Structure 1
Amino acid sequence: MASSSPGRGLRGRRGECVALDEVTAGARAGQGQVLVLRGEAGVGKSALVEYLVRSATGCQILRAVGVESEMELAFAGLHQLCTPLMGRLDRIPGPQRDALSVAFGLRAGSAPDRFLVGLAVLSLLAEAAEEQPLVCVVDDAQWLDQVSAQTLAFVARRLLAERVALVFAVRTSASAAAGDQFAGLREIAVRGLHDDDARALLESVVPGRLDERIRDRIVAETRGNPLALLELTRGLSAAELAGGFGRPDARPLASQIEESYLRRIGSLPVAAQRLLLAAAAEPVGDVPLLRRVAERLDIDADAAGAVEAAGLIEFGTRVRFRHPLVRSAAYRAADPTVRRDVHRALAEATDSVFDSDRRAWHRAHAAVDPDEGLAGELERSAGRAQARGGIAAAAAFLRRATELTPDSAIRARRATAAAQAAFESGSPDAALELLAAAQLNPLDEVQHARQAWLRAQVVFARRRGGEALLLLLDAAGRLERVDEAQAREAYLDAIGSAVFAGRLPEHADVGEVAEAARTAPPGAVPPRPTDLLLDGLVTWFADGCVAGAPLLKPALEAFRRTAGGNGDDAMRRLWLTWLAAGELWDDEAWYELSTHAVRTARDVGALNFLPLALGYRAAMYVHAGDFGLASTLIDEADSIIEVTGHSPMSYPAMLLMAWSGSPRAEAVIKSGILEAASWGEGRAIGLGHYLLTVFYNGFGQYQDALTHGEQAVEYEDASNVGFALAELVEAAARSGVPEVAAGALRRLEERAGASGTDWALGVLARSQALLSDGPAADRLYREAIERLEHSRVVVQLARAHLLYGEWLRRENRRFDAREHLRTAHEMLRGFGAIAYAERARRELLATGETVRVRTVDVHELREALTAQEGQVARLAADGMTNSEIGAELFISPRTVEWHLSKVFTKLDVKSRNKLRAALAGI
């Protein structure tokens, strides 16, 4: 593919080459670079990667190639890329070094968290780039194992001030989930060549005369795909090219290209075909291993020369195929018996001590008949894979172990274990398939029960509405007879499912589910935190808050104690303990549980858990009046969700929008209500109406607030209805419907009394004051302020000052009113609760006080800093070093310094010791 553009080296790729040159230049200049080359098979992505490697003079090059057969082996692609840097492991922080060492099998240890592994890779690349700019290229990235793809995408999104470039070549049509991990990164669509370039390329490789009509047909059929232009004409005679094609093949282009490789492979000597098959089946590209295999298969040295001469493969320090389709063509074309012989030879040639898992994998592919010894070995490999954090690999080992198990009872057990691993690795379809396979075998009562529970969990994870509810109740009933502890866990899941299903009529009411859960076996002695939580929630939903509160309080206390030690239970059940704390208006439990959750998730790098923890922490900060930090945490959670592909967590963002008075809040929340109805999550409907009530009360649109407030309290949505009742009291009182306000107040009095926290009693006193007059109202407003001053829920304290000031003004106590209105205005304005602050400003004007308009709006100043800049600035103001900030936020110290330079400019400060004062006004 000689170029007509000097210095570019590739025909028709000037724009792509310029972009790649810019990537290299940016890395040399200390600006982290990321580029995804996305296109169909054969379009020239690999050629562009080679151009990048050749042109990156003065840079260290790291390379990896995705291998389809290794997609289930966790960290395989990452290991390829990072192997040249292993000598630098001792230069990165200890926890990161340990995580990466376990992931790569360099040392034993518990499963490393993927988030911590991602940070280790980022640190490793950044450290290497300090000596020499680093260019990392990953070809066929769609075939990376999922863990490697997630990790590299995580790193790519955090490259800012490092001398590192990451370039991924991804096939457009790939169905592999790995290719989707790079969505949202800067990318170039690599398309077929323009007709003129395609014709010139075709004519350069076709000997003899090429009929113009035939040439144009080839160009049209291949759509300018360079590999297709080169490959589809090979093996065709000059007469065929000059005289015409047959009917165009309707198969996809990749299949056409693979067909041309199949023809070329078929023309090779048998020994050469077998060598090519062995190379295709051995994904690491280990040349010494391949030589040992060739000896076992009696393949002579001439075979290597034949496959190289055919332009299909290269033997250097590593085996490299001309194109991935050569690998797939060689493997698929082989007779199954020959394929098994090759895998058997690979197993025999693989070290049984240092690479026992890959040896077992090859033996499994060589096996025909059931083999308990081999199945057991695969099961042990699955255990080792899971210990390294390779859940997907464990599922693959267990699946094959299931297929090779002769005993039907053991086969059922392994199929169930494979299903569990598949579910945990994020493959619910595979989990259900394996559960179905397990049911083809005789199952005992224990297996039936545990399978039912797993199937229900899969359904609940896919759709958090009530679809899983009946399945969870059935599983709980089955488990009662075989495993009492797991039965209680399943009932707890069922209550959670009913909570999320909420008001939707097609599902059982949460009270009915609580009554069903009363039949659960008694808990352990002494009770586990989950036992206390189940008993508390059953009583709360079946008998009411007055009876339930005394049981829920010790349950929350138990989880708070657990959070201080081994917090696995505390993390796993956070989604329910958070709701229980909300029901009890327990802001201290909220604070402690969310603080522990975020801290622990950061310490261990819990990528799957951290977004949930950050979301709950963000909600806590909204209630605490720190909207800026809440926004930062929401952004961080969103960025992690983007990497992992988890379901988005919309509540914290909508809560912030409602309190901020964002112009977008109304449309976003109403849209969320409609979506919640469609996906079957009734609780989210009530939550949306509550948030709209908060929003409309801020703007003084009390009739709209009343409408949505009444809808919010129609159903006992967990951790929602109590807050909504307080909003409804205000909306109804201001709308002139005291009977509605009085009814809401009676319900609020019962809930707040059961709670007994300063938050609950402060909001209750404020609500009672709205329906009182004279000295009683004055006393209640003062009580509300005094109680709320002892809570963390500062936004409600500001609301109490606002309502008290409004009442004082109507009582013609203007001087007293100004004090509270001024306090409310300053607090609300400082939070960023613009609508509520405007209410306070209008009231101040009505007292005759002139409200000075600030020249620099707090909201505008906060938004001048990006989310990450704000977080870096806060940590730096707290005295943390760049290295400590980098470890906290999963970025490199160089990136921390880059962010700080921008913060200093925007806030007009010269040093760190000025940051705290500058941030105090934001």
Structure 2
Amino acid sequence: MLQGREEEVRAVEALLADAATGAGGVLVIRGEPGMGKSALLDHAETAAAGATVLRGAGVETEVELPFAALHLLLHPALDRLDALPEPQAAALRGAFGLAPMGRIDRFLVGLATLSLLSELAEQGPLLAIIDDAQWLDEASAAAVLFAARRLRSEGVAVLIAARDEPDAFPTTGLPELRLDGLAGADAVRLLGDGLPPHLRDQVLTESAGNPLALIELSKAARAGRLELSGPLPLTQRLLDAFAGQINRLEEPTRKMLAVIAAEDTGSVGVALAAAGALGVHPDALEPAELAGLVDVTGGDVRFRHPLLRSAAYQGVTSSQRRAIHKALAGAVSGDRRAWHLGLAATGPDEEIAGALEESAERAGARLGFASMATAYERSAQLSADQGDMARRFAAGAMAAKEAGQPARAASMSERASQLATDPMTLARLDEFRASVAFEEGSPRRAARLLVDGATAIAEADPRSAARMLMAAAHSIWTSGDPGLAAEASTLLDGLDLPADDGMVRLTRGLGLVYRGELESGYPLVSDFLAGLSPNDGPGESMAVHLSFVTGRLGRAVDLSASLAARCRAEGRIRQLPFALNTLAYTQAVTGRHRDARANATEGLQIAVDTGQHHPAAALRSQLAWLTAVDGDEQNGRALAEEVIEFSARHNVPAIGVLATWGLAMLDLTHGRDQAALDRLQARPDGSSHFRTRVVADEVEAAVRLGAPELVEDSLALAERWTTLSGETWAQALIARCRGLVDDTEDHFTRALDLHKLSPQPYELARTRLSYGEWLRRRRRKAEARPHLRQAHEGFESLGARAWAERAAAELRASGEATVASRNTAPGIALTAQELQVVRLAATGATNRDIAAHLLLSPRTIGQHLYKAFPKLGISSRTELARLDLDNL
């Protein structure tokens, strides 16, 4: 048993026990250097009797080598690659340099990692150990975290050890175990005897229970080489302790250790060659080995502890370090030579800068975008020409954005913009900086950058300026800045482009629609969309967006489903949250609430796993609305308030609109009509299909308050939009609203007729409820009952409990003494993910196929089916054919 770590050992062994029973999971062990993280991992490896063990580690000198750490971890399992779906196998082969790397989403490597771990666990439990995770290269870290967050029922246990430092391997959402200093008695037992009392007490105090500090500081104290009175951080004290061990060696050995510390690969041959160029004989390595500071195994040499490496490297002067890197550059080739030359340089050197640029491109080809950014940044710093410097900083910024490092991307793009002089280059930088700002949740800044960039090139390249203004239109609407909208409109009007230019018409149309000038703007957007192929012009994402703007919900459903399917098939995992967000929204507004919940839940998990905060907030907003419709006040309110707080913090009012609608829905279903009306009337100005849907709830709240005049303006704007769109679903909603406001029956019956032409189960149930209530209030109870009964059944089938309860209350008031639950759908108890799995299984897809589709492991799919079949009253896949899966 490890000294003083009984609870920590139990936590690790519990994880191993879970894996042995087919479950498993992940545990991140945090602690400052020397706390015993590696010792705990060693114990886990010993305790994992009968399990397959994979072990890897981050290496500080390899943090710029894409997938180096992942290759170290998975290398023993590469003979199983053929068992993976081909796109995943190809992604891993490309990542590890076993085959050309195509243009794939880097998170596909993470999915492939999950599949490979699951494949290995088919034969029994698997333990994957990763030490020094703070030094994982960024590409490996992203893959490991993506896989770890998806562990469910694979029989895989993942143990990750990382330093407890800011930004050291961030693992938000994963379970963590923090190692604190040993308690007094345990610290005393580990320290042992042999020190004079005064030194013993000082070591116990200064070590703060850190096991390595207890050992190393006591050694230094015994040797009389450590001053124990200074208030230095513990890590620095440990460095001092290690430095004391190094400083006892002769100068040639100290220089040899500095060379080994600066070397990239741990190769004895490379280190000896570089040391030789510095006049150090190979025999100088032996004293360090005999002192236990390094281990030499075969052709590799490694420091006993990472802090020894730091002490050795920092123990020489900066000029000596540059000389060492220059010597190492002469002993290696390729990317490592370029890096060493870059570290040896003292000023601009175009040859070295060019070599680093080539290294950056090679890193990018292997999806190592963090390494690519670093190489470009150093290349820029060594550039002799200001234009080259600007270009390289810009390229580095784009790589940093791909690596999920928006702050670093913004910093480098800012430096590039300060250096660049060409207006077109500056405009492209503004476009890039705008995309970073929008993804960070700052649409107002994004819009400002786009308008400024368009202004700078308006005369030289009016078409590009128009394209930037089109992109700015969405950011302006999202940020709700009318002043910026007017500025963009004036600039667009001044561009030297034909009045009938498609891009100009679309950009102008979007701006007008967002400002509520429908009759002028809507036809421009609608005409552009009519001639747009999803893969032409602004592309598939823009086609989806324009379908929403114009309210073409049928087309939006098809485009969103197609976009999501292509993202899955092509491994575009980072774009999948956007696609699932749009798909979930189309399903929600067309009444497929369970499908919407399933896709929004999946999209949210992927957005969180890939570090996309803005899409994550949008997906939470979707779930807030769906939860509110279900009548779950506690969870619906919590979700909505989280989104609204994000919206306010990042100044993105549009992202909180759906969540606010959800809160209004909760108010409406619980009789808080004034609160519902206040929330709905506080939404941003402008018009769209969304505003037309919201107005139905706004009207209901106002009518129940006896103040229909409060919504006449909103209803009139929605009617204008509906007339322009010609959409049947919108006409049905307007008819229901007019039935409530004008208190006339013809509008209700017309709404029901229109619903038949554009089926939307939720809105149909709402119309039946409103009409039934209207009939009951006029004492036409017998006529009201069929409508109220069908409304109740409709809400129950959707899981909209609060609305179903309201319909049931109305039905009882109409004279129906017993309101029986008619919700016999066998899949009502399925979770969102179980529903997805069951529907895919019914198509004949295998567990492996379904896993690839849902970014999970085959064993997790099997577990979902195991839990779903009893809920459906079946026992095998073949029985799925008799179920109405579309209505589960």
Q: Normalising to structure 1: TM-score of the pair?
A: 0.88
Deviation track 1:463-485 (CA, whole Å, cap 9, x = no partner) reads: 33424433331111113244444
Q: Summarize the alignment of residues 406-485 of structure 1 with structure 2, pairs less than 5 Å apart.
A: 406-438=384-416, 441=419, 443-485=421-463
> CA shift at 1:785, angstroms?
2.4
> CA shift at 1:688, angstroms?
4.7
The corresponding residue for 1:770 is 740
The corresponding residue for 1:900 is 865
Identical columns (%): 37
The corresponding residue for 1:145 is 137
Residue identity matched to 2:328: L
The corresponding residue for 1:308 is 289
Distance 1:747 1:887, change over 3 A: same
8 Å CA contact retained: 1:511, 1:542 = no
8 Å CA contact retained: 2:469, 2:492 = yes
Residue identity matched to 1:231: E
Residue identity matched to 2:442: R
Q: Which moved more, 1:219-228 or 1:187-196?
A: 187-196
Distance in 1 between residues matched to 2:567 and 2:287, nearest whole Å: 54
8 Å CA contact retained: 1:457, 1:468 = yes
Asked if residue 537 in structure 1 is aligned to residue 510 in structure 2, the reply is: yes
The corresponding residue for 1:260 is 241
Residue identity matched to 2:562: H
Secondary structure in structure 2 of the residue aligned to 1:562: coil
Asked if residue 214 in structure 1 is aligned to residue 173 in structure 2, the reply is: no
Distance 1:293 1:112, change over 3 A: farther
Distance in 2 between residues matched to 1:407 and 1:486, nearest whole Å: 27
Task: Choose which of 169, 172, 180 in structure 2 pairs with 1:191.
Answer: 180
> CA shift at 1:42, angstroms?
0.8
> CA shift at 1:441, angstroms?
4.2
The corresponding residue for 2:95 is 103
Distance in 2 between residues matched to 1:708 and 1:15, nearest whole Å: 50
Distance in 2 between residues matched to 1:483 and 1:73, nearest whole Å: 40
The corresponding residue for 1:387 is 365
Distance in 2 between residues matched to 1:494 and 1:539, nearest whole Å: 13
Task: Choose which of 318, 329, 332 in structure 1 pairs with 2:314.
Answer: 332
Distance in 1 between residues matched to 2:463 and 2:405, nearest whole Å: 26
Asked if residue 783 in structure 1 is aligned to residue 783 in structure 2, the reply is: no
Distance 1:141 1:483, change over 3 A: farther
Task: Choose which of 567, 582, 587 in structure 1 pairs with 2:548.
Answer: 582
Task: Choose which of 277, 280, 290 in structure 1 pairs with 2:258.
Answer: 277
Deviation track 1:679-721 (CA, whole Å, cap 9, x = no partner) reads: 3223346545443443333344433333333323x62265543
Task: Choose which of 791, 799, 808 in structure 2 pairs with 1:841.
Answer: 808
> CA shift at 1:531, angstroms?
6.2
The corresponding residue for 2:627 is 657
Asked if residue 358 in structure 1 is aligned to residue 336 in structure 2, the reply is: yes
Asked if residue 14 in structure 1 is aligned to residue 3 in structure 2, the reply is: no
8 Å CA contact retained: 1:70, 1:145 = yes
8 Å CA contact retained: 1:514, 1:541 = no
Deviation track 1:350-395 (CA, whole Å, cap 9, x = no partner) reads: 3x4xxx3233222322333422222222222222222222222211
Task: Choose which of 393, 398, 403 in structure 1 pairs with 2:376.
Answer: 398
The corresponding residue for 1:609 is 575
Distance in 2 between residues matched to 1:716 and 1:570, nearest whole Å: 24
Distance in 1 between residues matched to 2:241 and 2:604, nearest whole Å: 45
> CA shift at 1:168, angstroms?
0.3
Distance in 2 between residues matched to 1:857 and 1:675, nearest whole Å: 39
Secondary structure in structure 2 of the residue aligned to 1:193: coil
Distance in 2 between residues matched to 1:334 and 1:486, nearest whole Å: 53
Distance in 2 between residues matched to 1:784 and 1:175, nearest whole Å: 56
Distance 1:568 1:738, change over 3 A: closer
The corresponding residue for 2:786 is 819
Distance 1:298 1:85, change over 3 A: farther
Residue identity matched to 2:772: G
Residue identity matched to 2:196: L
Distance 1:817 1:436, change over 3 A: closer
> CA shift at 1:456, angstroms?
4.0
The corresponding residue for 1:4 is none
Distance in 2 between residues matched to 1:770 and 1:224, nearest whole Å: 72
Task: Choose which of 220, 223, 228 in structure 2 pairs with 1:235.
Answer: 220
Q: Which moved more, 1:34-43 or 1:386-395?
A: 386-395
Distance in 2 between residues matched to 1:627 and 1:209, nearest whole Å: 71
Distance 1:832 1:468, change over 3 A: same
Residue identity matched to 2:766: R
Deviation track 1:126-153 (CA, whole Å, cap 9, x = no partner) reads: 2233345432211111221223222111
Residue identity matched to 2:534: T
8 Å CA contact retained: 2:633, 2:666 = no
> CA shift at 1:446, angstroms?
2.6
Deviation track 1:46-81 (CA, whole Å, cap 9, x = no partner) reads: 111122223334433322221234334432221221
8 Å CA contact retained: 1:142, 1:174 = no
The corresponding residue for 2:731 is 761
Asked if residue 638 in structure 1 is aligned to residue 613 in structure 2, the reply is: no
Distance in 2 between residues matched to 1:509 and 1:524, nearest whole Å: 22
8 Å CA contact retained: 1:199, 1:215 = no
Distance 1:491 1:80, change over 3 A: same
Distance 1:418 1:525, change over 3 A: farther
Secondary structure in structure 1 of the residue aligned to 2:390: helix
Asked if residue 629 in structure 1 is aligned to residue 607 in structure 2, the reply is: no
Distance in 2 between residues matched to 1:190 and 1:688, nearest whole Å: 40
8 Å CA contact retained: 2:109, 2:143 = yes
Secondary structure in structure 1 of the residue aligned to 2:883: helix
Task: Choose which of 522, 534, 539 in structure 2 pairs with 1:562.
Answer: 534
Distance in 2 between residues matched to 1:88 and 1:340, nearest whole Å: 44
8 Å CA contact retained: 1:121, 1:155 = yes
Segments of 5+ residues of structure 2 without an aligned counterpart are none
Distance 1:474 1:361, change over 3 A: same
Distance in 2 between residues matched to 1:743 and 1:174, nearest whole Å: 52
Secondary structure in structure 2 of the residue aligned to 1:880: coil
Q: Which moved more, 1:36-45 or 1:864-873?
A: 864-873
Q: Normalising to structure 2: TM-score of the pair?
A: 0.92
Distance 1:791 1:270, change over 3 A: farther
Aligned residues: 881
Asked if residue 707 in structure 1 is aligned to residue 678 in structure 2, the reply is: yes
Distance in 1 between residues matched to 2:538 and 2:278, nearest whole Å: 51
Deviation track 1:204-256 (CA, whole Å, cap 9, x = no partner) reads: 5xxx4421x43233222211101111111223346x59xxx866322211111
Secondary structure in structure 2 of the residue aligned to 1:370: coil
Q: Which moved more, 1:135-144 or 1:228-237?
A: 228-237
Distance 1:419 1:718, change over 3 A: farther
> CA shift at 1:604, angstroms?
2.7
Distance 1:447 1:635, change over 3 A: same
Distance in 2 between residues matched to 1:296 and 1:807, nearest whole Å: 94
Asked if residue 852 in structure 1 is aligned to residue 834 in structure 2, the reply is: no
Segments of 5+ residues of structure 1 without an aligned counterpart are 1-7
> CA shift at 1:782, angstroms?
3.0
Task: Choose which of 682, 696, 706 in structure 2 pairs with 1:736.
Answer: 706
Distance in 2 between residues matched to 1:719 and 1:331, nearest whole Å: 63
Distance 1:718 1:103, change over 3 A: farther
Deviation track 1:237-277 (CA, whole Å, cap 9, x = no partner) reads: 46x59xxx866322211111112112222222333333323
Distance in 2 between residues matched to 1:18 and 1:687, nearest whole Å: 45
Deviation track 1:583-631 (CA, whole Å, cap 9, x = no partner) reads: 3222113212321232122223333222222222222222233333322
8 Å CA contact retained: 1:66, 1:140 = yes
Secondary structure in structure 2 of the residue aligned to 1:319: strand
Deviation track 1:771-793 (CA, whole Å, cap 9, x = no partner) reads: 3455xx33x32332233333364
Asked if residue 44 in structure 1 is aligned to residue 29 in structure 2, the reply is: no
